[in-house]
């Protein structure tokens, strides 16, 4: 009896040890914060933490990994000895760090959003300004090609901006600024003349002399202002009619040689009236005058124009429409040339200048760049 | 005494059964790792970033579980196997999804490129037939320069396609198309104006 009791007691002891042992295999519940951290990490990743707070995000990930290591260590323990208190506290710290990162990212995104928006508006305005200028000076060939590339990049930047991809939008904006610069470089040499005070002073003197001669001799005179695209008819020094005109394809530049499509600047005279012209009616000017010939020789010597270039001629004020783009002539509407044709005789002074005001259309436009 | 020895032996065998019989699922680990490695790529991160992250997380969870069991006295790899199977399945799904998405994106980019080319050709044709009077010469020259710029940019679309940047390619192609259509519209308007004048 004593033996049975002893055996039974041992059996019970071993079985209960085994059952306690097996019970002990059941892990304790891991902290709920783990799921929250995992969710937070995904949200941070989605919000672009790698871009906005790269080093902070890396530290945050390192903290998560360290905490997970601690978790793994605890999970590996015999269930009796598992204690997640420290892990839980670490997870809470990670959550707090993640929260502050979320706020930083949100602030940075807001700032970047505003900055990119401003950059887009700035680029848009610059493109529009240059586009207007190219139209003003008929310089569509060199500047516009790059300008359209800038416009294409701007469209892409806007699209990325709308998709909150500020980084790519910024990259596109950086790329487009090169094209804008190149467009500007194509038109600035033309425009700078209109902001050059010594040039304008020279033009003013020419105009003043012409008006004075018209007044002194009681004769008509014509002043063509290239920046304003106007032709003014003076009678005895008094302006009586103003018309809009078109000028050469490269009309904003001074004519240097045949075929450059520029409109000459200087003091000329009408040397022939052509009642029947290809462009309705025409008034032929004495281009090249003496100064033009001198300038032509100097430019050739300096290599500023092709060695085989000729000086050219046949510069007229003719009809065909004020919106025309000529080979260097001054074009006006047919009914307007009809009028002028009747009132100005051969020998009438015609002075062609770039501008007469320091604040002319083109110099003001440069300020907009 | 014999009984005590018998029960102790049983206990020892049971303990060893729990502790020693569970072996690391090497085959499953290798299969999951291979699947994940071949699925996760630069393209995957670009085209299916969330799926890629999920696959990486699934693999990480499986590896964490393996670590837990490796250090345990009584190993149980059932959960690890489950997690490895999930990582493998996710990786395979990712690979299939990536191929579809990339094909879709490539088709979109190519279609956008074709549409941009067609718009440029249309604008070119219109410009060729545009009224060439002195009055329209400036406009035509400016529009031709615009079109040349747009046409030049088409090369960048192909570069983007070649480098598998399909969304970038489609975006650029759409922008080019928009500009070319704008140019064509301007030519049409000018032609209508001239037509009315006549």
User: What's the pLDDT at A186?
Assistant: 87
B-chain residues within 8 Å CB-CB of A68?
64
Q: Within this chain, do residues B114 and B94 fall inside the same structural domain, yes or no?
A: no
Q: Within this chain, do residues B33 and B114 fall inside the same structural domain, yes or no?
A: no
Instruction: Tell which wins on pLDDT, A120 or A76.
Output: A120
Q: Is residue A1's pLDDT more than 50?
A: no
Give the mean model confidence (pLDDT) for residues A220-248.
94
For B:4-33, CB contacts with A below 8 A are 4, 7-8, 10-11, 14-15, 18
Q: Within this chain, do residues B96 and B168 fall inside the same structural domain, yes or no?
A: no
Return the H-helix or E-strand segment holding A8.
helix A2-23
User: What's the pLDDT at A30?
Assistant: 87
Confidence label for B163 from pLDDT (cuts 50, 70 and 90): very high
Are A46 and B50 in contact (CB < 8 Å)?
Answer: yes
* Residue B193 structural domain: 105-197
**Order of all β-strands in the sheet with A349-353:** A238-244, A230-235, A220-225, A349-353, A266-277, A280-285, A316-318, A330-331
Confidence label for A25 from pLDDT (cuts 50, 70 and 90): low
Cβ-Cβ pairs closer than 8 A, A with B, add up to 122
Give the mean model confidence (pLDDT) for residues B139-157.
90
As given in the structure block, the two tokens for residue A250 are 């490269």
Q: Is residue A86's pLDDT more than 70?
A: yes
Confidence label for A94 from pLDDT (cuts 50, 70 and 90): very high
CA distances from A31 to A23, A37, A58, B83, B176 (A): 20, 11, 23, 20, 55
User: What's the pLDDT at A225?
Assistant: 95
Confidence label for A119 from pLDDT (cuts 50, 70 and 90): very high
Q: Within this chain, do residues B127 and B84 fall inside the same structural domain, yes or no?
A: no
- Averaged confidence pLDDT in chain A: 90
CA B147 – CA A112 distance, rounded (Å): 33
Q: Within this chain, do residues B8 and B97 fall inside the same structural domain, yes or no?
A: yes
Q: Which domains can be identified in chain A, with CATH numbers?
A: 28-192 (no CATH), 199-367 (2.40.440.10)
User: What's the pLDDT at A320?
Assistant: 86
CB B188 within 8 A of CB B126: yes
Which of B68, B101, B134 is the last residue before a domain boundary?
B101
User: What's the pLDDT at A345?
Assistant: 96
CB B122 within 8 A of CB B182: no
Are A25 and B149 in contact (CB < 8 Å)?
Answer: no
CB A253 within 8 A of CB A260: yes
Residue B118 touches chain A, beta carbons under 8 Å: no
B-chain residues within 8 Å CB-CB of A18?
11, 14
Minimal Cα–Cα distance from A303 to chain B, Å? 28
Phi-psi label, residue A321: left if phi above 0, alpha if psi -120 to 50, beta otherwise: left
Q: What angle do CA A230, A125, B180 make, to 5 degrees?
A: 85
Are B150 and A134 in contact (CB < 8 Å)?
Answer: no
In a mutational test of the A interface, the residue from B8, B12, B175, B197 whose CB has the highest number of chain A CBs within 10 Å is B175
Number of folded domains that form chain B: 2
Q: Within this chain, do residues B64 and B87 fall inside the same structural domain, yes or no?
A: yes
User: What's the pLDDT at B155?
Assistant: 95
Q: What are phi and psi of A307, to 5 degrees?
A: -60, -35
User: What's the pLDDT at B141?
Assistant: 79
For B:136-165, CB contacts with A below 8 A are 137-139, 141-150, 152-153
Give the mean model confidence (pLDDT) for residues A201-226.
96
User: What's the pLDDT at B71?
Assistant: 81
User: What's the pLDDT at A364?
Assistant: 79
Q: Within this chain, do residues B80 and B129 fall inside the same structural domain, yes or no?
A: no
Which of B101, B117, B146 is the last residue before a domain boundary?
B101
Q: How far apart are the first and last CA of chain A?
A: 112
As given in the structure block, the two tokens for residue A7 are 């055996």
Q: Within this chain, do residues B171 and B82 fall inside the same structural domain, yes or no?
A: no
Q: Within this chain, do residues B111 and B177 fall inside the same structural domain, yes or no?
A: yes
Q: Is residue B198's pLDDT more than 50?
A: no
Confidence label for A16 from pLDDT (cuts 50, 70 and 90): low
Identify the DSSP state of A81: G
B-chain residues within 8 Å CB-CB of A246?
134-135
Q: Which candidate in A25, A99, A257, A329 is catalytic?
A: A329
Nearest to A165 by CA among B49, B119, B65: B49
Q: Within this chain, do residues B118 and B82 fall inside the same structural domain, yes or no?
A: no
Task: Determine which of A16-30, A90-104, A154-168 has the lowest per-residue pLDDT on average.
Answer: A16-30
Identify the DSSP state of A246: B
Return the H-helix or E-strand segment holding A277.
strand A266-277
DSSP string, A13-63: HHHHHHHHHHHTTSPPPPPTHHHHHHHHHHHHHHTTHHHHSHHHHHHHHHH
Q: Is residue B171's pLDDT more than 80?
A: yes
User: What's the pLDDT at B197?
Assistant: 46
CA B34 – CA B24 distance, rounded (Å): 17
Q: Is residue B18's pLDDT more than 50?
A: yes
A-chain residues within 8 Å CB-CB of B18?
25
Give the mean model confidence (pLDDT) for residues A158-179.
94
- Helix, strand, or coil (residue A279): coil
Q: Within this chain, do residues B97 and B152 fall inside the same structural domain, yes or no?
A: no
In a mutational test of the B interface, the residue from A50, A136, A148 whose CB has the highest number of chain B CBs within 10 Å is A148
Instruction: Tell which wins on pLDDT, A147 or B21.
Output: A147
As given in the structure block, the two tokens for residue B18 are 């729990």
Which of B101, B120, B141 is the last residue before a domain boundary?
B101
B-chain residues within 8 Å CB-CB of A319?
none
Task: Say which residues have a Cβ less than 8 Å from residue A198's Cβ, sequence separation at least 6.
Answer: none
CA A133 – CA A127 distance, rounded (Å): 10
**A257 catalytic residue (yes or no):** no
The answer to whether the complex's ipTM is over 0.95 is no
- Averaged confidence pLDDT in chain B: 86
Q: What are the pLDDT digits (tens) for B61-98?
A: 999 999 989 888 888 899 999 999 999 999 999 999 99
Are A159 and B7 in contact (CB < 8 Å)?
Answer: no
Are A11 and B53 in contact (CB < 8 Å)?
Answer: no
**A199 catalytic residue (yes or no):** no
Q: What are the pLDDT digits (tens) for B94-134?
A: 999 999 999 999 999 999 999 999 999 999 999 888 876 55
Q: Within this chain, do residues B97 and B119 fall inside the same structural domain, yes or no?
A: no
CA distances from A134 to A123, A249, A317, B197 (A): 16, 11, 23, 26
In a mutational test of the B interface, the residue from A152, A175, A176 whose CB has the highest number of chain B CBs within 10 Å is A152
């Amino acid at each position: 009896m004593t033996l049975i009791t002893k055996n039974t007691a041992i059996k019970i002891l071993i079985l209960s040890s085994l059952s306690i042992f097996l019970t002990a295999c059941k892990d304790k519940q891991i902290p709920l914060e783990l799921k929250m951290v995992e969710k937070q990490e995904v949200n941070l990743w989605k919000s672009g933490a790698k871009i906005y707070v790269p080093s902070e995000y890396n530290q945050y990930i390192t903290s998560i990994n360290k905490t997970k290591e601690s978790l793994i260590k605890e999970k590996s323990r015999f269930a009796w000895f598992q204690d997640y208190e420290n892990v839980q506290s670490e997870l809470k710290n990670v959550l707090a760090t993640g929260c502050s990162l979320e706020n930083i990212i949100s602030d940075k995104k807001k700032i970047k959003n505003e900055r990119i928006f401003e950059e887009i508006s700035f680029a848009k305005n610059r493109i529009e300004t240059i586009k207007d200028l190219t139209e003003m000076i008929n310089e569509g060939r060199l500047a516009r090609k790059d300008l359209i590339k800038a416009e294409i990049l701007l469209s892409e930047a806007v699209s990325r901006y709308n998709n909150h991809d500020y980084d790519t939008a910024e990259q596109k904006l950086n790329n487009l600024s090169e094209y804008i610069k190149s467009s500007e470089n194509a038109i600035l040499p033309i425009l700078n003349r209109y902001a050059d005070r010594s040039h304008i002073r020279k033009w003013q003197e020419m105009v003043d002399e012409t008006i004075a001669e018209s007044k002194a001799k009681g004769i008509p005179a014509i002043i063509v202002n290239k920046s304003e695209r106007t032709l003014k008819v003076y009678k005895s020094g008094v302006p009586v009619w103003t018309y809009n005109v078109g000028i050469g394809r490269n009309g904003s530049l001074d004519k240097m040689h045949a075929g450059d499509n520029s409109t000459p600047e200087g003091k000329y005279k009408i040397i022939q009236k052509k009642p029947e012209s290809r462009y309705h009616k025409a008034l032929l000017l004495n281009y090249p005058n003496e100064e033009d010939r001198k300038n032509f020789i100097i430019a050739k010597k300096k290599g500023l124009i092709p060695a085989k270039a000729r000086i050219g001629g046949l510069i007229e004020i003719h009809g065909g429409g004020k919106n025309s783009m000529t080979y260097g002539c001054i074009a006006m509407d047919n009914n307007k040339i009809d009028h002028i044709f009747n009132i100005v005789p051969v020998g009438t002074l015609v002075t062609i200048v770039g501008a007469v005001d320091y604040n002319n259309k083109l110099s003001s436009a440069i300020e907009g760049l | 005494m014999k009984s005590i020895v018998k029960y102790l032996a049983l206990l020892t065998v049971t303990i060893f059964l729990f502790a020693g019989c569970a072996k690391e699922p090497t085959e499953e680990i290798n299969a999951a790792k291979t699947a994940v490695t071949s699925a996760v790529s630069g393209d995957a991160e670009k085209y299916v970033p969330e799926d890629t992250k999920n696959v990486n997380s699934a693999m990480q969870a499986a590896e964490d579980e393996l670590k837990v069991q490796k250090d345990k006295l009584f190993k149980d790899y059932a959960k690890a196997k489950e997690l490895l199977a999930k990582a493998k399945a996710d990786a395979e799904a990712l690979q299939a999804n990536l191929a579809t998405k990339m094909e879709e994106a490539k088709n979109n980019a190519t279609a956008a490129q074709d549409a941009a080319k067609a718009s440029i050709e249309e604008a070119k044709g219109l410009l060729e037939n545009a009224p060439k009077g002195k009055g329209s010469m400036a406009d035509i020259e400016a529009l031709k320069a615009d079109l040349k710029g747009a046409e030049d940019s088409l090369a960048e679309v192909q570069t983007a396609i070649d480098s598998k940047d399909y969304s970038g390619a489609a975006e650029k192609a759409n922008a080019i198309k928009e500009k070319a259509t704008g140019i064509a519209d301007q030519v049409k308007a000018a032609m209508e104006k001239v037509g009315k004048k006549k």
